[in-house]
Amino acid sequence: MSRTAKQWLLLGGKMLFSGTLMFLLYRKIPAGELTALLASLDLRFLPLILLLLFLNTAASAWKWRLFLLADGVNIPLATLTVTYLIGSFYNLFLPSNIGGDSYRIYDIAKKSSSGVRSAASVFADRFSGFLALVILSLLSSVLVARQFDNIFFFLGPLLILLILLAVLTALVKEKPVRLFLAATRLNRFPLLVSLTEKFFLSVQCYGADRRLLLKVMAISFAFQLSVITIVWLLALSLHAQISFFYFSAFVPLITLLEAVPISIFGLGLRDAGYVFFFGWTGMTELQTRSLALLFFGLAVSYSLIGGLAYLGRTFAAASKEKLPS
């Protein structure tokens, strides 16, 4: 089987997975009631939600720029912001909600002529976001676990945090990664070894600057709190009066669930997360599914801005090529 055929088969499998989950989750929900609830949205929260979305994009681009600058790559904030938006557009078509990172790596590698530093910056940006996400979830999960008398709500975030810390330790110490390459005999490939060593150099640049780490973690916490607030505001617009601390515990876990690359744009996984976790809070089945659909619609609508940005870049590049030299 050719590589292209395997890719199409994998994509088809993920589409089937998402479709099956969506069918199972929504098959018993009356379409009329779902439509009626979505039609009754309280739109007063919309301006604040949109403002938070734009601020999040700008903050993410700023954090990304800090990593790049620490590694000697100077890309304007406006350029990174547009690239971030286009990356979110790519997420609509690539597996999981981090598929657009591949575009971010490609675009900045092209502009900086350094693929490894581009990849390292995107990895550090994503990793710092995940770390803030899990820490927030862990702090809130203590109260949630006590509220529902279920230690699972605490052990889940704790396990994920331990995994992230193990990965971080392996990258900082470097030796565990080299041992892994040796054990899997991947160190037979000089190019892979060279890329790994260059990646380590970028990680060392980040770790050597404590002020940088404090800044990016502060931005990461602000970003994740903003995302939690957006989902809480969406729930309020659906007339669901649920305490904010439930969202601070569950939204991070749902976000991590979306990142598992077995679905398209998190479809099915995201919905299952909302149904499972917020079902504990007293939200009705109709409300949990409506919240998932509303978040999906908001994410798609916002990602389309990235599509427009991509078209703008494409036309601008084409116009430059047509200009006489």
pLDDT in tens, 264-310: 777 788 888 888 888 888 888 888 888 988 888 888 888 889 889 88
From 119, 273, 135, select the one nearest 198 (Cα to Cα).
Answer: 119
| Spatial separation of the C-alpha atoms in residues 15 and 3, rounded to whole Å | 18
Mean pLDDT of 47-61: 92
Q: Which of 271, 282, 236, 265 is nearest to 42 (CA)?
A: 236
How far from each other are the two terminal CA atoms of the chain, in whole angstroms? 46
Distances (CA, A) of 17 to 11, 51, 97, 270: 10, 34, 15, 13
- Give the pLDDT band of residue 325 (cuts 50, 70, 90): low
Which tokens hold the place of 42? 């309280």
161, 138 in Cβ contact below 8 A? yes
Closest CA to 12 of 98, 86, 95: 95
The per-residue pLDDT for 316 is: 77
161 by Cβ neighbours in 10 Å (0-12 / 13-18 / 19+) ranks as: middle
Nearest C-alpha neighbor of 285 from the set 297, 276, 294 = 276
List helix spans (H) across 113-209: 115-148, 152-173, 175-183, 190-207
Mind listing the pLDDT tens digit for each residue in 178-228? 888 888 888 887 777 787 888 888 888 888 888 998 999 999 999 989 999
